[in-house]
């Protein structure tokens, strides 16, 4: 892409839930995809967990202690096979207790233990990330898949 051309790169990550030794009283719902929207070649875009309009969001309904394991992509890909890097920092994960309004940060790159106390009906998991299209990145729709695995910490 030459300096005088403007081409937009649309980018989003679809959410997938994959249960691992699921507890019968646990329900998980993907609520919102990580949506970078229109990107410009050569300009990285970071979505923080505080960006309610663009962060990824999962609702977890249940109580107890669970292990979250996010399988995170390292790149976004177009239908034509073009790619660019996608990364997640150690502060790009957060879970939220809605009743008390408390947030807890976690590193989404490693399995994380979360506790949902009896006074909460569940928790919401948020995920941010950084998309880094190259300076000559062709325009188009780029996607990636994020998988959340949840297991009962007692199993």
Tell me, what CATH number does 96's domain have?
2.60.40
Is 78 among the domain residues?
Answer: yes
Is 9 among the domain residues?
Answer: no
Is 5 among the domain residues?
Answer: no
- Pick the closest to residue 116 from 153, 64, 154 (CA basis): 64
Domain that holds residue 80: 15-152
Number of independent structural domains in the chain = 1
Secondary structure E strands in the chain:
8-19, 27-32, 34-40, 45-47, 56-61, 64-71, 75-78, 83-87, 93-97, 102-106, 112-116, 122-127, 129-131, 140-152
Higher pLDDT, 22 or 65: 65
Is 76 among the domain residues?
Answer: yes
pTM (two decimals): 0.84
Angle at 75 between CA 150 and CA 56, to 5 degrees: 45
Is 2 among the domain residues?
Answer: no
User: What pLDDT does residue 2 have?
Assistant: 30
User: What pLDDT does residue 119 have?
Assistant: 83
Is 94 among the domain residues?
Answer: yes
Q: What is the mean pLDDT of residues 3-25?
A: 48
**Contact indicator for 27, 123 with CB cutoff of 8 Å:** no
Is 62 among the domain residues?
Answer: yes
- Pick the closest to residue 112 from 145, 143, 149, 139 (CA basis): 149
User: What pLDDT does residue 100 have?
Assistant: 83
Is 109 among the domain residues?
Answer: yes
Q: Which residue has the tokens 């300009």?
A: 43
- The pLDDT tens digits of the residues spanning 63-121 come to 888 899 999 999 999 888 999 999 999 999 999 988 888 899 999 999 999 888 888 88
**Contact indicator for 96, 52 with CB cutoff of 8 Å:** no
User: What pLDDT does residue 63 have?
Assistant: 86
**Contact indicator for 26, 149 with CB cutoff of 8 Å:** no
């Amino acid at each position: 892409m030459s300096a005088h051309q403007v081409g937009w790169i649309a980018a989003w990550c679809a959410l997938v839930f994959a249960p691992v030794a699921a507890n019968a009283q646990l329900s998980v719902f993907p609520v919102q995809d990580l949506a970078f929207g229109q990107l410009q070649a050569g300009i990285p875009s970071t979505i923080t967990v505080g960006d309610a309009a663009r962060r990824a969001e999962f609702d977890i309904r249940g109580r107890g202690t669970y292990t979250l394991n996010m399988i995170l992509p390292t790149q976004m890909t177009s239908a034509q096979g073009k790619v660019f890097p996608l990364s997640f920092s150690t502060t790009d994960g957060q879970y939220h207790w809605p009743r008390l309004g408390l947030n807890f940060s976690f590193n989404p790159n490693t399995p994380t233990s979360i506790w949902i106390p009896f006074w909460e009906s569940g928790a919401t998991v948020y995920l941010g990330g950084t998309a880094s299209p190259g300076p000559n990145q062709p325009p188009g729709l780029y996607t990636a898949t994020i998988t959340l695995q949840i297991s009962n910490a007692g199993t």
